[in-house]
Structure 1
Amino acid sequence: MSLNSLNSTDQNGWITDILYKENIIFHEFHTFDNMKYIGDAAARVYIATSRIYHQPIFLKPIIFNQSYTIQNFVNEVKQHRQVELHENIVHFYGITKEEHADSGTLGDFLKRSFKQLKWDVKLKFAKQLVSVVYCLHENDIVHQNLKSDVYSVGILLWQISSGRIPFEFELPDFSLVQSIIGGKREIIIKGTLNKYINIYTACWVGNLGNRPNIQQVL
């Protein structure tokens, strides 16, 4: 049975059932801190600190599709478990799922949840956002002006701090575009951390050469 033959609810139930039968532990994504991208074009890998194991953990993103199914993954786990007792073999701890992956757009998520978000959650969300763009830049997945991406990151960081889309109450017309090109920016939200403000305002400065690269933002 392929993943594509299942609806979302059945698919999640089927995957959960397989993980249970194969004794593959699921870890909540919020139990990982200080996530950093350390891979290259050949291997997408992150390192983070596990609150459960109190040690660094490697995280490797996977996507299930027709060419790589949950069963392929389970088979790899079985093979790995045959050799992981060796001291030089990395131990397999289980799987996790990135938070907010099924929550729609950033705007959708903030509209539903912003009032409940504390700053530690906002910062964690912001770090996840920046780490994704960092991954794209480091692996040369995007080929446009990278400093334009940094500007967009700055806008999204402001959106996380405000809970709303930029210039929400203004007409999205040519006049607004001209004003933004001329230096118009959204207001600083009261209560925002100064360091956070410095980061996103640096991202949206008008002169591209004065913007930080995505590694500096991260």
Structure 2
Amino acid sequence: MSGSRMTYDKCVECARQRTAVAWCHNCDIAFLKDNFRYWSSGNSKIDELIKHTQLNAKEGMDYLEWIDFDQFDLIENINKRGAFSSIYSAVWMEGPRWKLDEEAEVWTRTGPIKVILKRLDNSQNMSQKFINQLYRYYKCLQNGALTNCFGITKDPASCYMFVLGYYKNGNLYSYLDESIGVLCWRDIIDMLRSISAGLNVIHEHNLIHGHLHGGNVLVESKANSIDAKIADTGLHGPVIDKQISTQIYGVIPFVAPEVFDGNTPTKESDIYSFGMIMWMLSAGVRPYCDKPHDSQLVQQICSGLRPSVISGTPLVFSKLMLQCLNASPSSRPTASHILECLENWISDLSSQFDDTDIPFVNLEKLSLQSSLCHEKAIYYSRPLGSVISSLFDIEFF
């Protein structure tokens, strides 16, 4: 029946109505609460955050947990870092409690799974401001439309690490490198729909991502589709008070011009970043890869520079992309509108896009892809104050 709520079986322990699959709000939260005495992060603020997520969980995959560092094996630095973090891969030996035992009607641990460990620099003294940010964003960390976040651990140097889902094809940059930038429209639209769904979730929570770029989109190619999820939601920025500032940081091609002009990042600036991801997938290369990412490029972007639409790009695609890249934030579409457009395209792809399953390639794309990436084209997040302070009257601290 339209509008009806899904109902679940009664709990075998307390006979109360379950609120989700194999999840009793009464018994399962009592179980988590009883386990509070068996773990500690060593930081009372982080302990309270994890407890808060567990006491307010609505289902079995809806909370963070503390994971002892000795639970991880085969830890490897994968040589990727952001402005305030570094990234490792590892195997979590127990795995999350995400496997449903249908007979017992309980969630059990999956066993060994590969994960990503995001190590936060200087997090031994995590600020209250960063903790507050985690409180605001934790529901996004536990949403299926975004990359999985299982919990928090601490390395031997006492730096805290977020335990995230592993995506075998890496981020969007590495995926494009792996595929030599040659994608069919079906895969492009499939990925963009997944990314827009995640962005819509963030915006529906009245939050912003603030640092959306190809390095923060993780990709996993599956048998009949490509899964692309936004990562790093709520985990961006410095974690200690000394580092917290009004300084702009990010990846220059994905930063909206109004942010360079000193305005706070908004939902609309997220949409600009999404538009640049649209261009990157259609072109098969990173934006402005042939230019140094310096103050001159910032000035050009603020003066209206945008990547040229690739010849052969369907009109409906280029129209939406250019709306996202509009210089006026108020003229950009919302995440919900973008998601609606992409879902409509998917439902009738052949009428909007020619040769949907044939790789989109032409001489213009081949020329772009054959160009060497400029040595000063930088695609990881970094402080940008020194790059733009000479152009705009912005005070940096």
TM-score, normalised to structure 2, is 0.34
| Partner residue, 2:151 | 65
Across the two proteins, how many residue pairs are aligned to each other? 160
- In 2, Cα distance between equivalents of 1:160 and 1:60: 19
Q: Aligned residues: percent identity?
A: 21
Q: Secondary structure of the residue that 2:179 maps to in structure 1?
A: helix
- TM-superposed CA distance for 1:22, in Å, is 7.3
TM-score, normalised to structure 1, is 0.58
Residues 1:192 and 1:152: Cα distance change in structure 2 (over 3 Å): same
Residues 1:204 and 1:61: Cα distance change in structure 2 (over 3 Å): closer
Contact kept, 8 Å, 1:3 with 1:11, in 2: the verdict is no
Contact kept, 8 Å, 2:181 with 2:283, in 1: the verdict is no
| Partner residue, 2:202 | 136
| Partner residue, 1:121 | 187
- In 1, Cα distance between equivalents of 2:293 and 2:147: 37
| Partner residue, 1:77 | none
Residues 1:131 and 1:111: Cα distance change in structure 2 (over 3 Å): same
Correspondence 1:119-198 to 2 at 5 A: 119-142=185-208, 144-198=265-319
| Partner residue, 2:30 | none
Residues 1:146 and 1:114: Cα distance change in structure 2 (over 3 Å): same
- In 1, Cα distance between equivalents of 2:190 and 2:68: 30
Contact kept, 8 Å, 1:3 with 1:64, in 2: the verdict is no
Structure 1 ranges of 4+ moved more than 2 A: 6-16, 18-24, 59-67, 100-105, 114-117, 140-144
Contact kept, 8 Å, 2:199 with 2:335, in 1: the verdict is yes
- TM-superposed CA distance for 1:140, in Å, is 2.3
Amino acid across the alignment from 2:179: S
Residues 1:196 and 1:12: Cα distance change in structure 2 (over 3 Å): farther
Structure 2: gaps of 5 or more residues: 1-66, 75-88, 108-138, 154-164, 211-264, 340-397
Structure 1: gaps of 5 or more residues: 25-40, 47-58, 68-97
- In 2, Cα distance between equivalents of 1:168 and 1:162: 11
- In 1, Cα distance between equivalents of 2:176 and 2:199: 20
- In 1, Cα distance between equivalents of 2:295 and 2:146: 43
Residues 1:204 and 1:19: Cα distance change in structure 2 (over 3 Å): same
Correspondence 1:1-218 to 2 at 5 A: 4=69, 5-7=71-73, 11=91, 63-65=149-151, 101-142=167-208, 144-218=265-339
Compare CA radii of gyration and give the structure with the larger one.
2
Amino acid across the alignment from 1:126: L
Greater helix share, structure number:
1
Contact kept, 8 Å, 1:3 with 1:65, in 2: the verdict is no
Question: Which structure has more RCO (C-alpha within 8 Å, separation ≥ 6)?
Answer: 1
- In 1, Cα distance between equivalents of 2:315 and 2:148: 36
- In 1, Cα distance between equivalents of 2:186 and 2:309: 19
- TM-superposed CA distance for 1:190, in Å, is 2.2
Greater strand share, structure number:
2
- TM-superposed CA distance for 1:112, in Å, is 0.9
